[in-house]
Amino acid sequence: MTPAEKTLRSQRLNQITHEPHSKLDALVKAHAPFETRANFARFVVAQYLFQSELVDLYNDAELGAIVADLPARCRAEAAKADLADLHTEIPAPVAGALKNPSKARALGWIFVSEGSKLGAAFLIKRAVALELSETFGARHLAEPQGGRAEGWKRFVKTLDALPFSAEEEAEIEQGAIDAFNRFTVLLEQAYASEAEPA
Ligand code: HEM
């Protein structure tokens, strides 16, 4: 096999997360997040919890040396502002957050968080029906500066160029799978906790 025929790391990550992504997509939709603002607020709770668990990674010096604009990609603050817009309390942390992952494992999580910005292009369009936007209530789904596709392409290019050992290759894959599992847990938790009347 010539190097050109080798499957890129990002393509492999796409393949192994295809099934968890489909399941999560279906689960998000099952909770009808665009039916009411209250439903949408629960979705934002899940997004906030997920993003806030990743704040340390987005601001990690070693990871930041790999992905130049990493801190600017973090959406925890945007999700927090959305919660305020939606008169929704900041949720307490949920046990089981990621702790001190290896570099490769951390990048698996960030791959999922960054990839979720692609689906967000569809979600923000639907949020408009609830009179929400990138400046009110749906800030965390906003198009990143410099463009969604461009930001993703830059991230993936960087990721694909990293020289990884076989062990690291396994770690990044595990990280991506774990991130999907974690989002699923947080989403279930968010909809299980009854919305406080605003
Ligand atoms: C926490 C992680 C994620 C969540 C919650 C999420 C959620 C969603 C949802 C709900 C949709 C459907 C939008 C609609 O049809 O209205 C979607 C679509 C999409 N997502 Fe994700 N996603 C996540 C991660 C990822 C990742 C890692 C990638 C890429 C590697 C990705 C790429 C896409 C793309 C390209 C779409 C557009 C439609 C499609 O091709 O299926 N997402 N996502």
- CA-nearest residue, atom 15 of ligand 1: 122
Cβ(112) – ligand 1 distance below 6 Å: yes
- CA-nearest residue, atom 5 of ligand 1: 116
Residue 21 lies in a domain: no
Which pLDDT belongs to residue 4?
56
pLDDT tens by residue, 67-99 = 989 999 999 999 999 999 999 999 999 999 999
Residues in the chain: 198
CA 130 vs CA 51, 84, 162: distances in Å:
23, 16, 42
Residue 179 lies in a domain: yes
Cβ(115) – ligand 1 distance below 6 Å: yes
- Measure the CA–CA gap between 20 and 179, rounded to whole angstroms: 10
CATH of the domain at 75: 1.20.910.10
Which pLDDT belongs to residue 122?
97
- CA-nearest residue, atom 33 of ligand 1: 119
Which pLDDT belongs to residue 194?
60
H-only helix segments in 34-96? 37-53, 55-58, 61-66, 70-73, 76-85
What number of other Cβ atoms are within 10 A of residue 56's Cβ? Answer: 16
Which pLDDT belongs to residue 3?
56
Residue 41 lies in a domain: yes
Which pLDDT belongs to residue 196?
52
Number of domains in the chain: 1
The ligand 1 atom at the shortest distance from the C-alpha of residue 22 is 41
Among residues 57, 66, 144, the alpha carbon closest in space to that of 102 is found at: 57
Q: Could you tell me the residue range of the domain that residue 37 belongs to?
A: 31-192
Amino acid identity of 85? D
Residue with tokens 């025929």: 5
- Measure the CA–CA gap between 83 and 168, rounded to whole angstroms: 36
| DSSP state letters, 119-180 | HHHHHHHHHGGGT-BTTBB-GGGSPPTT-HHHHHHHHHHHHHHS---HHHHHHHHHHHHHHH
> pLDDT of the chain along its 198 residues, tens only?
555 568 999 999 999 999 999 999 999 999 999 999 999 999 999 999 999 999 999 999 999 999 989 999 999 999 999 999 999 999 999 999 999 999 999 999 999 999 999 999 999 999 999 999 999 999 999 999 999 999 999 999 999 999 999 999 999 999 999 999 999 999 999 999 765 554
Both tokens of 105, joined, read 């494992």
- CA-nearest residue, atom 9 of ligand 1: 25
Entry pTM: 0.95
CA 102 vs CA 53, 171, 186: distances in Å:
15, 8, 22
Residue 26 lies in a domain: no
- CA-nearest residue, atom 6 of ligand 1: 116
Cβ(175) – ligand 1 distance below 6 Å: no
Determine whether 186 is exposed, middle or buried from the number of CB atoms within 10 Å of its CB (0-12, 13-18, 19+).
buried
Query: Which of 11, 21, 157 for a ligand 1 pocket mutation test, highest count of atoms within 8 Å of Cβ?
Result: 21
Residue 58 lies in a domain: yes
What number of other Cβ atoms are within 10 A of residue 152's Cβ? Answer: 16
